[in-house]
Structures are given as structure tokens and as C-alpha cells.
Amino acid sequence: MSKTIEKLKHLREKVADPDFQQSRGLSNEVSYYILAYNPQDQPLVTEEINSMQQQLNHETVGMDIVEFNLYQIMWELLDDMGIKDDVLAMEASDGIDYLTEQLNNAFEMTSSENLFVQYIQRHLPDEPVIVFVTGIGDIFPLIRAHKVLNTMHQIVTSVPVVFFYPGTYDSLSLSMFGESKEDNYYRAFQIN
């Protein structure tokens, strides 16, 4: 059995656990988890996320999984700003580094309430949920996972959050696709 399959099986067990659903037993830590996986396993991860959503959202009373895809959110935010078409032209004319800098400014990624976190906060339902954050690999290198994580845990505190990360996480640092190291992030628990 691959490591990704084992991790997904473990996550499925956790998601069904009422203690996990209600963020109990964490010694006052934020209820954030990272499921790091081999990027080649993306289709398997996507399929399992859909399966877990269908199962929990239809079989469990009072608890739903809500998915926030950062890639889709990025395009929606750009569309709301009226600059969606400009982004593609900017990359072609000025390069990926310039585009990354401009997007981080536009999304206020250094703010404690960047636009991604504000979006998630606005779209969280009132009823109890488990939050799945996906699309992290799709927006790399434009937006870095640690920038979302570092601000999101200050805003979204009452529900469990699972980040699906195509790379490695060693409880201290993130490495996208197992190659590009990000800044340290140590507040999330690993799904092993």
C-alpha cells in the first residue's frame, strides 16, 4: 500500500472521529493538519476527497466537509478585481517572478487577513464543518502555502482544517513537490 493511500485511510478514520470533528484533545493547539503526499498521487487524492465529502456530508448529521480550492479562489478574486485577463499578459510580458510579486501585493499576502483568508472566512457556513484546503500545488509558485497557513490559523480557529499538500512536511518545514522549500511552518499536525 502506498504512503498516500495509508495517509488517506488514516484521514478518513480521523474525519469520522467526533473528537477530531470537535477539535478535542489537542492541548489548546489549533486544529490544523497537513496531509503531504506524492504529487503523482494527485488523482487518487482528488478521488478520495470527493468520496469523503459524499460520505460525511450525506451520512453524518450536523457535520459537513467544506472544500476551499485555492486555485479556484485565486481566479475568482482576480475576476472580482477585474484583472483576470491582465494576469496572463503580465506573466508573458514580465515573467513569473514579477507576476508573483504583484499577485502577493494584490492579495495582501503579508497582511494578517489576506484575501484568501478573508474569502474563506466569508464562505464558512455557520454549522459545524471540517475544512479541506486544496489547490495548493496549482497556485505554486504564485502563492505559497505557508503564507496562507500563517494567517489562516489566526482567523479560522473553531473548526478542523486539513491542507492537502503535494510535497513533504516534516512538522517544521514544507517542501512543495519535494523540491522547493518554503518558510518554516510548525503549527500543523501531520496526517501520517
β-partners of residue 37 are 166
Per-residue pLDDT tens over the stretch 76-110: 999 999 998 888 888 889 999 999 999 999 999 98
The CA distance from 36 to 177, in Å, is 9
Pairing of strands 64-69, 129-134: parallel
What range does the domain containing 89 cover?
A: 3-190
Ordered alpha helix ranges (H), 60-144: 70-81, 84-94, 96-106, 115-123, 136-139
Ordered alpha helix ranges (H), the chain: 3-16, 18-21, 42-59, 70-81, 84-94, 96-106, 115-123, 136-139, 145-155
pLDDT band at 59 (very low <50, low <70, confident <90, very high): low
Please provide residue 103's backbone torsions phi and psi, each rounded to the nearest 5 degrees.
-65, -40
Res 11 pLDDT > 80: yes
Res 28 pLDDT > 60: no
- pLDDT in the model for residue 182: 66
Q: What is the pTM of this model?
A: 0.91
Per-residue pLDDT tens over the stretch 115-153: 999 999 899 888 778 999 999 999 988 988 888 888 887
- Degrees, nearest 5: CA angle 114-53-154: 25
- pLDDT in the model for residue 159: 87
Indicate the number of domains in the chain: 1
Per-residue pLDDT tens over the stretch 145-187: 888 888 887 788 888 999 999 998 887 778 887 666 666 666 7
